[in-house]
Amino acid sequence: MKTVFIDGLGMLGPGIENWQQARSALLSGALKLDEPLTLSGQSPLPANERRRASRLSKIALQVAGEAMADAALEADEVATVFASSCGDLDIVHKICTALTMEGKPVSPTQFHNSVHNAQAGYWAISQHAKKASNSISACADSFAMGLLEALTLVEVEQTPVLLVAYDRPAPVPLFGAAMSQAEFATALLISPNRSTDSLAMIETNMVTKCSVVSGISECVNKALEPLRNSCPAAMALPLLEALVNPAQQSVALDCPGANCIEVKVNSCA
Amino acid sequence: MKSSLLSIRAYTLSNALGLGVQASLDGLRAERSGLRECRLPNIDLNTWVGQVDGLENVVLDQNLAEYNCRNNRLAELALQQDGFIDHVQQSIDTYGANRLGVFMGTSTSGIEETENAYQHMPADAENMPDWYHYRYTQNIFSIADFVRLRLGIEGPALSISTACSSSAKVFATAYRYILCGLIDVAVIGGVDSLCQTTLYGFNSLELVSDKPCSPWDADRKGINIGEGAGFALLERDSNRDGIHLLGYGESSDAYHMSTPHPEGDGAMLAMQQALSRAGLKPEDIDYINLHGTGTKSNDASEDRAVSRLFGDTVACSSTKAWTGHTLGAAGITEALFSCLFLEHGFMPKSLNTKILDPECRANILREQIVKPLQATMTNSFGFGGSNCSLIFGALN
């Protein structure tokens, strides 16, 4: 695929409240995995929506806002891809619980927040962003397929795209059955053209899993591995490592089926 | 001059009108609705539904047994119609299994399994029952995963879940993947099945009609929920005779989570983009298959959008009174209806529309019209303000 440019980044995770902390954790591997994800920064959501939005939506929008914060692009110029393996299982739990009760009192707000594109909807509303938006899942491979979806949009529609990937643990009793044991979210602002905002350039190719030549599929920093293995969105970590560390050149991310994508990273510095 | 984005090599669809293309075609031509009064177990609501018979008895391949849920059983039954599996196999033989992609739309996937588990679990249960497989049923990807494994496809696969626009948007995604050279052929589709979540959810929003739905009617009461599945095999072949995707448009309302923009701004943006990508003018469109759910706000907003862009001349109708609103499968169902109309040269009336809403301006067909068509448009709009318009045309 054509070379594209990373113009902004965001990451939230256990003990990581903002991109600065994320950057140093990615470089040093000093992670406080047993700490909670704290939402301390400025939320892009207006106060009204913030009250109604779920924790998953707040996390997704916070990290999306972070990736846009230092970019010259305005949110209404940017298409979006929201990738989440499981979506909002807190809401699924509440609805399925309500369905066991007399009269099945499903909350209308919970119901409209239950759609997989709720985060995309809240982002569009809060940013007045009217461009194309997709919300996808590829279960454990949701980050890689979200990236591919974003890259096809950048290449074909010649538009900048904000990719947001996020997952968090389900409540009991779904916890053990669902895909995520940790909270993690990341956002990448991807542009077809180089600008003064460009932090790195990436070139992506789809290859069969057995023919990966140079890409590494695990975190170089072994301290990050438990996080990568406990949340589908955290499969982004090897790429995020490569984006902050010029010594790392190429990563491989699994897709469903026989293929994976190899992403070659070069700094724009 | 119309130019093709993608050629539709094969397609199949199943819904309340029956299994396979012929059942839909017969029902549409004969103006026979598939809706029935809701008698589903666990549903105590006074409404009508578009139900597919026989789903309880569908058995999945043994090696896919963990994927067993109503949604995947509906997918299995639909895939068996119209020789679709053989068409896919021919493409696999020609291009190789990893040069095909699978892009599926759904809104609720296999959530019925989770509903059932909760129904039978003690309220203080710490874990789900042993028979429950979250990953293979309720997870949004389950449907795309099931389809790719069932068809033996090894290329990229994902589910798109943008509520009721989900399986319209798969056409745009398939086009982009093929144009970027990531795949040669796409299997796209949408599957959504009846469940308590959507019936009681829409009921909580007071959007469920106690009568058969009547889009654009002055006295419309809301939606009937339906289930359905549709699949299409797409490739780039602009020289092939037949039905082609000519344009697509995708936009966000950026207005409200569950109410469309009152002036139809987002819908209009999607339709404009679809026209511009197809290189067509509004007057080149013969027929619009409306999203037309039958709620007060959807029909009013869509009417504004259509009449602002097309005036009051282009023929329009909603087919929701045949199938019910199949939610995540509505996009593909109505896209394939729009292909059927091109192929067979007719435009259906808006079934159940008795007294046209006097506030509405669009040219809603009150009678079926038989005539050759060149280009049709279909609209799909979803919660979260997700809009998609598609244009299809016959090339020969």
**A71-103 pLDDT tens trace:** 999 999 999 999 999 999 999 999 999 999 999
Q: Is residue A194 over pLDDT 60? A: yes
Rounded average pLDDT over A35-56:
89
| Residue B325 appears among annotated catalytic residues | yes
Q: Is residue A180 over pLDDT 60? A: yes
Q: Do A106 and B138 touch (CB under 8 A)?
A: no
Residues of B in contact with A113 (CB under 8 A): 257
Q: How far apart are CA A193 and CA A181, in angstroms?
A: 37
Whether A17 is covered by a domain: the verdict is yes
Domain range list for chain B: 6-395
Rounded average pLDDT over B364-389:
97
Q: Is the four-CA dihedral B300, B306, B311, B315 of positive or negative sign?
A: negative
| Residue B87 appears among annotated catalytic residues | no
Concatenating the DSSP letter of every residue in A184-219 gives EEEEEEEESS--TT--EEEEEEEEEGGG--S-B-S-
Number of domains chain A is built from: 1
Whether A269 is covered by a domain: the verdict is no
Residue A55 has a pLDDT of 96
Whole-number mean pLDDT of chain B? 97
> Which domain CATH number covers A117?
3.40.47.10
Q: Which of A51, A96, A253 is the best substitution to test chain B (most B C-beta atoms within 10 A)?
A: A96
**B174-195 pLDDT tens trace:** 999 999 999 999 999 999 999 9
For residue A206, what is the nearest residue in chain B, using CA coordinates?
B182
Whole-Å CA distances, B274 to A130, B77, B236: 15, 32, 18
Select from B111, B250, B384 the Cβ nearest to the Cβ of A121. B384
**B143-157 pLDDT tens trace:** 999 999 999 999 999
Whether A224 is covered by a domain: the verdict is no
Q: What is the ipTM of this complex?
A: 0.98
**A149-173 pLDDT tens trace:** 999 999 999 999 999 999 999 999 9
Nearest to A130 by CA among B168, B295, B272, B93: B272
Whether A169 is covered by a domain: the verdict is yes
The shortest C-alpha distance from B125 to chain A (Å) reads: 6
Residue B1 has a pLDDT of 57
What does pTM read for this prediction?
0.98
Rounded average pLDDT over A14-32:
90
**B95-118 pLDDT tens trace:** 999 999 999 999 999 999 999 999
| Residue B38 appears among annotated catalytic residues | no
Q: How far apart are CA A113 and CA A115, in angstroms?
A: 6
Residue B234 has a pLDDT of 98
**B250-273 pLDDT tens trace:** 999 999 998 999 999 999 999 999
Residue A110 has a pLDDT of 96
Whether A209 is covered by a domain: the verdict is no
Using DSSP, state whether A185 is helix, strand or coil.
Answer: strand
Rounded average pLDDT over B69-82:
98
Residues within 8 A of A (CB atoms), B 263-282 only = 265-266, 269
The shortest C-alpha distance from B107 to chain A (Å) reads: 7
Question: Is the Cβ of A36 closer than 8 Å to some Cβ of chain B?
Answer: no
Candidate list B164, B213, B316, B339, residue with the active-site label: B164
Q: Do B128 and A176 touch (CB under 8 A)?
A: yes
Structure tokens at B195: 């469940």
Whether A164 is covered by a domain: the verdict is yes
Rounded average pLDDT over B36-51:
97
Using DSSP, state whether A61 is helix, strand or coil.
Answer: helix
Q: Is residue B61 over pLDDT 80? A: yes
Q: What is the architecture, at CATH level 2, of domain B6-395?
A: 3-Layer(aba) Sandwich (3.40)
Strand partners, B160: A136, B105
Q: How many CB atoms lie within 10 A of CB B392?
A: 28
Q: Do A257 and B252 touch (CB under 8 A)?
A: no
Q: How far apart are CA B381 and CA B223, in angstroms?
A: 14
Rounded average pLDDT over B345-367:
97
When pLDDT is cut at 50, 70 and 90, the band that residue A42 belongs to is confident
Residue A51 has a pLDDT of 84
B238: which DSSP letter?
Answer: T
Whether A249 is covered by a domain: the verdict is no
Question: Is the Cβ of B208 closer than 8 Å to some Cβ of chain A?
Answer: no
Q: Which domain holds residue A95?
A: 4-197
Rounded average pLDDT over B325-346:
98
Residue A259 has a pLDDT of 95
Give the whole-number percent of chain B exceeding pLDDT 70.
100
Residue A248 has a pLDDT of 72
